[in-house]
Structure 1
Amino acid sequence: MIAIISDIHGNYPALKAVLDDIDNRNIKNIICLGDTSGYYCMINECIDALVERNIFSLKGNHDYYLISGEGCPRSNSANSCLEYQMSILKPNNKIWLENLRSSSLIIDDKHFVHGGWNDELDEYLYEVSKDYFQNRNGKYFFSGHTHVPIIFNMKNKIYCNPGSVGQPRDGNPKSSYAIFNNGKVENVRVNYDIDVIAFYMKKSGFDKYFYENLYLGSKIGGEIAATFVMR
């Protein structure tokens, strides 16, 4: 079995709840699709947890923004969070982020990316089709980035977005991840104590605008992400 997690975004209480659920299922192999950084204030705790378990992680767009210093071209709120994270990032965790060399991984017939297969770092797959995957080698395809969990069963291929550990955007505030088990793919939702990350965000100087969305299962500002279209 493999647990696939993604888009942790510095939300350690959510990550801990997901890892506890994975442990309770006795799953030993975990792959992270990226974006450990961005949005929430417990970036060091999240990286420490991944390092302690030796969890393989891809590089997400927020990881790139943080290390490159380029910032997010779409969101001033995201950049405020990134600036805070850089100010508290431990040197060894900065090195860990810098060593995230790839946004894709291939294991046998399983392909993992952060964004999509046209742009591994920053493609949003809100619409997926059989044609998109038809000429791509492999049978199982996993990507994150949208924060919306989905499983798309095609005739001979399966696409899965595990959703987001740290900032669900589908109107459900529960953390989300996926399990691959002998050719079957399942998305799992996990409760966690949102009040804890809200407390630490407030303690770190952020007003509720930056975290009240977690209670809604939405983007910062309250917008629910676009619904997947499958065709």
Structure 2
Amino acid sequence: MDNTAFEKNRQCKAERMQTIEIAIISDIHANIIALEEAFDDIRKKGITQVYCLGDLVDFAPWGNEVIARIRDRGIPCILGNHDERIAYDQPIIPLAHHDSIETAHRELAIRFSKNTITDDNKKWLAELPFQLELTFKLGEQLKRILLVHASPRSNDEYVFESDPKEGLLDMLGGNKVDAIVMGHTHFSYVQHYAGVLFVNCGSVGRSKEKDRKAAYAMLTISADGISAEICKVDYPITEVANAIYESNIPDFYGDFLLLK
């Protein structure tokens, strides 16, 4: 093998070995304690790129603190449905899947955010983008990742693991992506369909999964493709629940975290 061919072969191998790791968080819901534990876990993994899929507010007492943490760290963030409601003072519309008790508690919790999130933070929320597309270049390979809060067409749409995915791809038209990462449902999963990686990174601050741990996604990107892992982090849930009980947020949201 001549020197030119050897160098080209060496370079190709190096490009194939190159990997990029990113962390994607979502649905913090004013739970600064869970957020700090997730950040600590991300730091321990040596990940320096972090992205957020929104829903920074509602259901715990630290909405302003969570927003400040995201802003101070310069983390790229998109607009969640709860963020949008607070930013634009939108009406609180009851959800069909909530009973009358949860509907009443939900209205009180959201009104707490409307009354306590600062005007400056509301302005910042209002300027968040609806979605982000990340493009990574590894050698001659381009890997594209679409970040949405709920789906490419709405930040209120629920997309669960059991739901068909072809409709999501239709929404993209001719825009080919290698992965779509979402939140909103508070249930995490990793799924492949039609050559696209679908990831729901779960919820950092208000997981609906049985363990209630803070969840986020770690993506590993290489020339060969993209893989994802759901990371779960313990945090002092009782401390968060007690803070909710001591606030003007309904006890319902503390009980939820404690699986009552």
TM-score by length of 1: 0.87
Q: What is the percent sequence identity of the aligned residues?
A: 28
Match of 1:212 in 2: 255
Equivalent residue, structure 2, for 1:227: none
1:75-94 mapped onto 2 (5 Å cutoff): 75-94=103-122
RMSD after superposition: 1.7
- 1:144 and 2:183 are equivalent in the alignment: yes
Contact 2:59–2:249 (CA under 8 A) maintained in structure 1 = no
What are the ranges of 5 or more consecutive residues in structure 2 without an aligned counterpart? 1-20, 96-102, 136-143
Higher alpha-carbon Rg = 2
Q: 1:98 to 1:117 in 2, by over 3 A?
A: closer
Output one character per residue of 1:159-211: Cα deviation in whole Å (capped at 9) or x when no partner. Answer: 00000001111222111000111221110000000122122212213343221
Quickly say closer, same or farther: Cα 1:38–1:132, change in 2 above 3 A. same
Q: Which residue of 1 aligns with 2:195?
A: 156
SS in 2 for 1:56: coil
Q: Which amino acid in structure 2 is aligned with residue 68 of structure 1?
A: Y
CA drift at 1:84: 1.0
1:1-231 aligned at under 5 Å gives the runs: 1-73=21-93, 74=95, 75-100=103-128, 102-108=129-135, 109-119=144-154, 121-126=155-160, 127-135=162-170, 136=172, 137-182=176-221, 183-216=226-259
Question: 1:67·1:94 contact (CA, 8 Å) conserved in 2?
Answer: yes
* TM value normalised by structure 2: 0.77
Answer whether contact 2:217 2:231 (CA < 8 A) is retained.
yes
Task: State the AA in 2 paired with 1:132.
Answer: G
Corresponding letter in the other structure for 2:35: L
Query: Where do 5+ consecutive residues of structure 1 fail to align?
Result: 217-221, 223-231
